[in-house]
Structure 1
């Protein structure tokens, strides 16, 4: 019998699936399914945790024990959540709701909630949130942890979970100074301490620093810290409607000069929605030369931005379509799940992708054919994991099975993730939803 994880516990050994695999393992699996961008059916062999063979399927069915017949459904690389705040997840309404819907009231609400944080509280909510993500096909997560806290309780707890869950998920933890590096007491010392504790990525929030000069200084510091400690960089950059907020050019230039652009990410950059085209023409030249990555959070940004507008009202997303057309790497993220900044969210990146394509007006056939790139391959480049990510012989056997035939089909139906395999082991499985047609429609 193949032991699989269903819901919260493994049906075979009853272990919580976020903590360990069922001890029953198979050395080889064969899956018959479609691959993205290819019309035929393929047989995918998995041995010792890696894809050992990918070949055209001729007879169209499985017969050997231990094989899985996907019945022509789509095999896809695992989904990636490249920007989320696990320490704040599931705190919407605690201690009060963000009634204005602005970024800044959200930060105020979080500052009040942050005073009550403890390890058990963060673990409980983070595990519930990770369970949502795993059930939606996510196997890689980059989470920000607020280090505007002398005890660094959020960062310590999330680093602990990262290490505990390494066989289930690959988690990167960002040292994120929510209230600024230079505008918060001992902010820089806390960033350095966060790196010692184990942060994988260093962050900043230059537009929230008290002055332009402090914002620029914070960016120079995170590049220095990343270079000195061999860390990645992910900056909450220009998450504001102000067209004069132009820290992105500073971040890109510093990354270019340090020759580490592919290790640097600019998250949000919503002010770009308010930049004029003449400035963007100049800016894009720098962005391409720098090689930095971008993360857009469509549901969060459409909710938070444009709050000071009457009409016309800005959408407040970065220029995803233009960045992508220019060959600049950009991906989508959910950002928040029921926290002071965004009170909805369910861990389903297909929902985020749907919003993103609508808001960014990326609804052409070419966009649909490669839609899943924005929550898979592009995000892999952003997290720096592309070398062993993807469905190819020799790579780690990490994949998901989607209830559809191609990107367009999956997007249209917001399809279920039916199976999630990590290093050749099933970590999540569900039955496909069956749509029953009412008798009066059958004629």
Structure 2
């Protein structure tokens, strides 16, 4: 296949039954036409063979600076969130720019090989040298033609609770961070957590940055910093630019409180990221039986009209030993864990790893299969959302600005046992 794609034929589009052909000129979609019949391919076009042409996958929550460090120097034996933080604190002094770049680029290659073109990475800035942050800024520039990368200044050990935490956050922004993070439930006191949330929103307002907070990532039903974040975002009129990641404590909130909380959340219009595979692994660790899932109320948030997307969170790091960059795996796990298997929910399930992520990252202007937009897309095995999820197949093609990032052929079965079934 040529490096540049100029035409795709026999493609399906999400929510549409007929076949389509798409033409690309100078890296943008120039024509999108429905087909009345199947077309024969020639040397100058890509035959989608009835498979789904979809906007690229969005990874809205990953920790590239910690990826591929599981077991270095010690394993997280309890499997808990807090031991993960302890193990990372042991690994952090061993960081070098070369170490961070090597692991991050390997992980990005894994994500790109699985259809991801947009990534938001949280980078630990509770490091006086900001080694990982500086390395990630260099990587962002290096890969800008292949991947849209957003960098979150993430205070893993707190803003108020870590020495010079505020100064390090501000320095990270000056060095090139795109998003301001937080971790209020890990601050020493509730007062520190509340102060940190108001400070984060004020700083974002002043600097024009986005916000993405690790918010209430704990089973404790008394962790209620989400209401503080949402209120501050509402007062600052910047809810669409604010994201609450994890919010796993919501799993433990009583329904009366949630009824009140959801009124605020809908008014604030903030976004949500859930990391179902990691949350179901890390949460519920203090339970005997019954054990809670520890995943935020994804189904209810979506039904309330709020934007929710799924992320992997970790790939082989102190918090999560597995992970392979396959967001379809995360989606499959998430819809099971969140009781979202109704057909009406399955019909648009890819929203959780595509459109909703684009909205959360605020890249909607360049995202989507529409005339005049950049020709960024992937081809997935299956004709629609449901079939893609059922097949759990590979990404067959990934194209960015009309240029091929990856191409692979569908898996071919060489032999198969034939069964004769007699009635």
Question: What range is the shorter-chain TM-score in?
Answer: over 0.9
Distance 2:137 2:44 in 1: 36
Contiguous gaps of at least 5 residues in structure 1: 4-24
Task: Tell me the CA shift for residue 29 of structure 1.
Answer: 2.5
Task: Tell me the CA shift for residue 68 of structure 1.
Answer: 1.0
Distance 1:2 1:423 in 2: 14
Find out whether 1:46 has 2:24 as its counterpart: yes
Distance 1:371 1:253 in 2: 29
Matching of residues 302-321 of structure 1 within 5 Å: 302-321=280-299
Find out whether 1:198 has 2:176 as its counterpart: yes
- The equivalent position to 1:170 in structure 2, one of 131, 144, 148, is 148
Q: Secondary structure in 1 aligned to 2:94? A: coil
Distance 1:184 1:442 in 2: 69
Distance 2:413 2:122 in 1: 38
Task: Tell me the CA shift for residue 65 of structure 1.
Answer: 3.6
What's 2:236 paired with? 258
What's 1:111 paired with? 89
Matching of residues 10-49 of structure 1 within 5 Å: 25=4, 28-49=6-27
What's 1:92 paired with? 70
What's 1:281 paired with? 259
What's 2:383 paired with? 405
Contiguous gaps of at least 5 residues in structure 2: none
Tell me which moved more, 51-60 or 67-76.
51-60
What's 2:358 paired with? 380
Distance 2:301 2:222 in 1: 20
Distance 1:442 1:427, change over 3 A: farther
Distance 2:413 2:292 in 1: 38
What's 1:392 paired with? 370
CA shift digits 1:260-306 (9 cap, x unpaired)? 00000000000000000000000000000000000000000000000
Task: Tell me the CA shift for residue 221 of structure 1.
Answer: 1.1
CA shift digits 1:113-156 (9 cap, x unpaired)? 00100011011110110111000000000000000001101111
Tell me which moved more, 261-270 or 61-70.
61-70
Task: Tell me the CA shift for residue 31 of structure 1.
Answer: 3.2
- The equivalent position to 2:403 in structure 1, one of 417, 420, 425, is 425
- The equivalent position to 2:325 in structure 1, one of 347, 370, 373, is 347
Find out whether 1:136 has 2:114 as its counterpart: yes
Tell me which moved more, 221-230 or 242-251.
221-230
Q: Check whether the contact 1:74–1:401 (CA below 8 A) recurs between aligned residues.
A: yes
Distance 1:214 1:59 in 2: 63
Q: Secondary structure in 1 aligned to 2:48? A: strand
Matching of residues 175-190 of structure 1 within 5 Å: 175-190=153-168
Q: Check whether the contact 1:159–1:199 (CA below 8 A) recurs between aligned residues.
A: yes
- The equivalent position to 2:345 in structure 1, one of 351, 354, 367, is 367
Distance 1:414 1:442 in 2: 28
Matching of residues 201-212 of structure 1 within 5 Å: 201-212=179-190
Q: Check whether the contact 1:30–1:66 (CA below 8 A) recurs between aligned residues.
A: no
Distance 1:190 1:253 in 2: 25
Distance 2:382 2:290 in 1: 39
Find out whether 1:75 has 2:53 as its counterpart: yes
Task: Tell me the CA shift for residue 64 of structure 1.
Answer: 4.5
What's 2:39 paired with? 61
Distance 1:138 1:108 in 2: 30
Distance 2:43 2:370 in 1: 23
Distance 1:319 1:171 in 2: 27
Q: Check whether the contact 2:19–2:37 (CA below 8 A) recurs between aligned residues.
A: no
Q: Secondary structure in 2 aligned to 1:285? A: helix
Distance 1:183 1:125, change over 3 A: same
- The equivalent position to 2:335 in structure 1, one of 348, 357, 374, is 357
Task: Tell me the CA shift for residue 314 of structure 1.
Answer: 0.6
Distance 2:132 2:339 in 1: 37
Distance 2:392 2:318 in 1: 26
What's 1:2 paired with? 2
Q: TM-score by structure 1 length?
A: 0.93
Q: Secondary structure in 2 aligned to 1:72? A: coil
> What is the aligned residue count?
421
Q: Check whether the contact 1:29–1:424 (CA below 8 A) recurs between aligned residues.
A: no
Task: Provide the aligned C-alpha RMSD in A.
Answer: 1.1
Tell me which moved more, 29-38 or 39-48.
29-38
Distance 1:189 1:294, change over 3 A: same
